[in-house]
Amino acid sequence: MARRSASDEGSKPVKISKQSLKQAAGLLSYLRPYRFRFGLGLLMLAVSSVSSLALFTFVGDLFDITKDNFATEIRKIAMILAGLLVVQTIASFLRVYLFSYTAENVVAKLKQDTFAKLVSLPMRYFSEKRVGELTARVASDITSIKETFTTTLATFIREFIIIFGSIAFLTWSNWKMVLFILGVLPLVVIFALVFGRRVRKISKEAQQANAEATTVIEESLQAIATVKAFTGELFEIARFSEKNRQVAAKGIRNGLFTGGFVSFLIVFMFGSIIAVIWYGASLVAAGEISSGQLFEFFIISIMMAASMGGLADSFNSVQKALGATESVFGILGEQSEEPGTGEIRLNGNIEFKNVSFAYPDKPEHPVLKNISFRVSSGEQVAFVGPSGAGKSTLTHLLLRLYKPVSGQILAGGTDTVSMPLNAYRQNVAIVPQEVILFGGNIRENIRYGKPNATDEEVTEAAKKAFAHDFIMNLPDGYDTIVGERGTKLSGGQRQRVAIARAFIKDPSILVLDEATSALDSESERSVQQALNELMKGRTTFVVAHRLSTIRNADKIIVLEKGEIKELGDHSQLMENSEGLYRHLASLQFRV
C-alpha cells in the first residue's frame, strides 16, 4: 500500500458552486470579529500590489533620463521610488501581520469549536468514520483554511490586481503593446500550465511507484522471520522486482516529459520574451515609445505572465480551501449528543425489555435480538457467550453510547432514553479491559471520575482500589505523570487506577469489561480484590470470558448470536446438560 501524507488526507478541491460558497459564507461568521483588521489587510494588499506595479514603471522612467534633464529628473524619480519603497514596505508588513492575526484567531476558534463538536458527537459518528483518518483530515483541512487567510486569498487578489493593473497601465501607455502581449502571453501561459500539470501527474505516479516498492521492502524485512520460515525469499524477490521495474519505467517516462517541458519552456518562454523585446524595440525604432517604456513594457509583461501562471494554482488552492471549509462545516453541522441538565440518583434496578439493536453502519445486521431481563439493585450479572455474541454491545447500550433500535432499557422503572444523558451516565462507571490513562498525573487520572474531588478523596479511593501502595512507590507519588508520554504503568496498575476512578465516582451501576483477562495471576489477584470491594452494594455487569470469575454471580446471561440462550446462576445453568453454558464450562473447567 502506498503511504499518504497528511496533506493528501485533506479534502479534495470542490467546484465553486452556490452550495460551496454558501458553506464558505459560514466562515464569515468566524471572520466577523476581525473584520476591520482583515479589511485593512485587504487594503494593504491592494496598496502593495499597485505600488509594486508603479515601482517598475518609475524604474522605466530612469531609462528616459537625458543629459539635459538629469539633475531635476533623477531627484524626482529617486524621491518617488524611495516613497514607493516605504509604502511597499509598510503595506507588506501590515498585510502579512493583519492576515496572520486574523487567520490565527479564526482558526483557533474554528479548531476549538470542531474539537468541542467532535467529542460531543454520538458514537454512531465514530463507528462510521475511522478516527485516525478523521483527525488527519480535520488537521489538514484546518491548515488549508489557515493558508487561505494568510496566503491563498492574498496571492489570488494580488494576481488579479497585477493582471488588470498591467493591462490598464499598458493601455494607457501604449495600447498596441497590450494587444501584442494579450495575443502572445495567454497562449504560452495556458500551454505551459497544461503541459506542466501533465508533467506533475507523471512525476506523482513515479513517486507513488517508488513508495509501493519501499513498502514491499518494509513488509518483507519486518516479517523476515516469517519469510524465512516459509522459504518465501524468492517470492519476495520476485514481488520486489516487479515493483522495482515499474519504478524504473515510470522514472524514465518522468524524465522524458520533464525534459520535454524544459525544452518547451526554453523555446516558448525565451521565445516570447524575445518576441516582446523585438516588438518593443521595433516600436522604439519607429519612435512610438521611449526606451524607458520598453523597459516598463518588458518588466510588466513578465509580472503579468507570472501572475497569469500563478492564477491557475491559486484558483486550485481556493477550490481546495472551499472543499476544506465544506468538510469542517459538515462536522460542525452534525447533531451532537444532548447532554441535558440536572441530577438523578439511580438505585441500580435495571430492566431490558425486548431490546433489539444493530450498529448504525450495519443496520441490516442485527447484533441483539429481543433481549429481556431484569436486575435488582446490588446484583451481579455476568454476560457470557462465544465471541461476537453481543456481550460488549450490551454494555454499550447500558452506557447509552447507542440507543436500542427497538425496546426499552428501564432504570428504576423509567425509560433511560427519557433521562438527561449526563445525569444518567453519572450513575454508571466502567472498568474497561484495556485501560487508557490520560496524559497528566495519577491524581488527575483518578479525579477524572469526579472532577471536584479533594486530594483526600483521591487517596481514599486509591486505598480502596489497592492502588495507594504502588502509587506511593512511584517517583513522584500521586504527581507522577502517566499516559502516552509519562511513566508506563503495568496492566494491573492501570486497572487499579481505573478502579479508583470508578470508586471516586461512586456509581450505582458498574460495567466491568473482562477487567482481569489480560493480567497474570499475581496482579489478577490484587485487581480482583479491588473489584470485589468496588462491586459491594452496586449493580454490576461483567463481561466475562473466564467463567471461574463469575461462579458467584447472581445471574448469568448466556448469549449466542445476539439472543439470550440461557439465564440463571452457575448451579442452575450447570444442571442443563445440553446447555451452552455447561458446554462452555466443560471446555474451561473440564467438568
Cβ atoms of residues 320 and 10 within 8 Å: yes
Q: Where are the alpha helices (DSSP H) in 389-454?
A: 391-398, 421-425, 442-447
Nearer to ligand ATP, 389 or 511 (CB): 389
Nearer to ligand ATP, 220 or 393 (CB): 393
Q: Within positions 323 to 342, which residues make up the interface with ligand ATP, using CB under 6 A?
A: none
Give how far Cα 19 sits from Cα of 23, 140, 261, 354, Å.
Answer: 6, 22, 38, 44
Residue 391 as a binder of ligand ATP (CB under 6 A): the answer is yes
Distance, in Å, from the CA atom of 468 to the CA atom of 347, rounded to the nearest integer, reads 29
Distance between the two ends of the chain, CA-based, in angstroms? 49
Distance, in Å, from the CA atom of 139 to the CA atom of 135, rounded to the nearest integer, reads 6
Instruction: Provide the minimum distance between the beta carbon of 553 and ligand ATP in the complex, in angstroms, as a whole number.
Output: 17
Instruction: Provide the minimum distance between the beta carbon of 544 and ligand ATP in the complex, in angstroms, as a whole number.
Output: 10
Instruction: Provide the minimum distance between the beta carbon of 539 and ligand ATP in the complex, in angstroms, as a whole number.
Output: 19
Sheet of 563-568: strand order equals 428-431, 509-513, 539-543, 380-384, 555-560, 563-568
Cell (9 digits) for 373: 431481563
Instruction: Provide the minimum distance between the beta carbon of 550 and ligand ATP in the complex, in angstroms, as a whole number.
Output: 14
| DSSP 8-state class, residue 379 | -
- Total residue count of the chain as it appears in this document: 591
Cβ atoms of residues 534 and 503 within 8 Å: yes
- # binding residues, ligand ATP (CB under 6 A): 13
Instruction: Provide the minimum distance between the beta carbon of 126 and ligand ATP in the complex, in angstroms, as a whole number.
Output: 8
Q: Where are the alpha helices (DSSP H) in 341-453?
A: 391-398, 421-425, 442-447
Instruction: Provide the minimum distance between the beta carbon of 495 and ligand ATP in the complex, in angstroms, as a whole number.
Output: 17
Residue 556 as a binder of ligand ATP (CB under 6 A): the answer is no
Half-sphere exposure of 196 (CA within 13 A, CB side): 11
Instruction: Provide the minimum distance between the beta carbon of 127 and ligand ATP in the complex, in angstroms, as a whole number.
Output: 4
Instruction: Provide the minimum distance between the beta carbon of 237 and ligand ATP in the complex, in angstroms, as a whole number.
Output: 38
Cell (9 digits) for 123: 458514537
Query: Which of 176, 201, 228, 362 touches ligand ATP by CB under 6 A?
Result: 362
Interacting stretch for ligand ATP, rule CB under 6 A, among 48-56, 383-391, 410-418, 488-496?
383-391
Q: Give which of 545, 542, 537, 536 is closest to 555, Cα–Cα.
A: 542
Interacting stretch for ligand ATP, rule CB under 6 A, among 49-57, 232-240, 320-328, 388-396?
388-396
Classified as helix, coil or strand, 432 is coil
Classified as helix, coil or strand, 517 is coil
Half-sphere exposure of 305 (CA within 13 A, CB side): 22
Residues whose CB falls within 8 Å of the CB of residue 54, separated by 6 or more in sequence, listed in order: 84
Sheet of 406-411: strand order equals 368-375, 350-357, 406-411, 414-415
Instruction: Provide the minimum distance between the beta carbon of 512 and ligand ATP in the complex, in angstroms, as a whole number.
Output: 13
Residue 359 as a binder of ligand ATP (CB under 6 A): the answer is yes
Instruction: Provide the minimum distance between the beta carbon of 370 and ligand ATP in the complex, in angstroms, as a whole number.
Output: 15
Query: Which of 336, 392, 408, 576 touches ligand ATP by CB under 6 A?
Result: 392
Instruction: Provide the minimum distance between the beta carbon of 529 and ligand ATP in the complex, in angstroms, as a whole number.
Output: 25
Residue 361 as a binder of ligand ATP (CB under 6 A): the answer is yes
Interacting stretch for ligand ATP, rule CB under 6 A, among 58-66, 110-118, 359-367, 419-427?
359-367
Residues whose CB falls within 8 Å of the CB of residue 396, separated by 6 or more in sequence, listed in order: 123, 402
Distance, in Å, from the CA atom of 134 to the CA atom of 366, rounded to the nearest integer, reads 27
Residue 127 as a binder of ligand ATP (CB under 6 A): the answer is yes
Residue 400 as a binder of ligand ATP (CB under 6 A): the answer is no
Residue 389 as a binder of ligand ATP (CB under 6 A): the answer is yes
Residue 128 as a binder of ligand ATP (CB under 6 A): the answer is no
Instruction: Provide the minimum distance between the beta carbon of 381 and ligand ATP in the complex, in angstroms, as a whole number.
Output: 15
Instruction: Provide the minimum distance between the beta carbon of 397 and ligand ATP in the complex, in angstroms, as a whole number.
Output: 10
Residue 367 as a binder of ligand ATP (CB under 6 A): the answer is yes
Residue 390 as a binder of ligand ATP (CB under 6 A): the answer is yes
Sign of CA dihedral 207, 210, 212, 217: negative
Q: Give which of 338, 391, 345, 385 is closest to 368, Cα–Cα.
A: 391
Contacts with ligand ATP, 513-552, as mask; x by CB under 6 A? ----------------------------------------
Interacting stretch for ligand ATP, rule CB under 6 A, among 43-51, 358-366, 481-489, 496-504?
358-366
Instruction: Provide the minimum distance between the beta carbon of 558 and ligand ATP in the complex, in angstroms, as a whole number.
Output: 11
Nearer to ligand ATP, 367 or 482 (CB): 367
Across the chain, how many H-helices and E-strands are there? Answer: 20, 12
Nearer to ligand ATP, 145 or 559 (CB): 559
Cell (9 digits) for 55: 515601482
Give how far Cα 67 sits from Cα of 71, 74, 81, Å.
Answer: 8, 11, 20
Interacting stretch for ligand ATP, rule CB under 6 A, among 83-91, 326-334, 354-362, 525-533?
354-362
Contacts with ligand ATP, 76-115, as mask; x by CB under 6 A? ----------------------------------------
Residue 387 as a binder of ligand ATP (CB under 6 A): the answer is yes
Distance, in Å, from the CA atom of 518 to the CA atom of 324, rounded to the nearest integer, reads 42
Cell (9 digits) for 377: 439493585
Contacts with ligand ATP, 56-75, as mask; x by CB under 6 A? --------------------
Interacting stretch for ligand ATP, rule CB under 6 A, among 54-62, 357-365, 463-471, 501-509?
357-365
Nearer to ligand ATP, 145 or 367 (CB): 367
- Interface residues with ligand ATP (CB under 6 A)? 127, 359, 361-362, 367, 385, 387-393
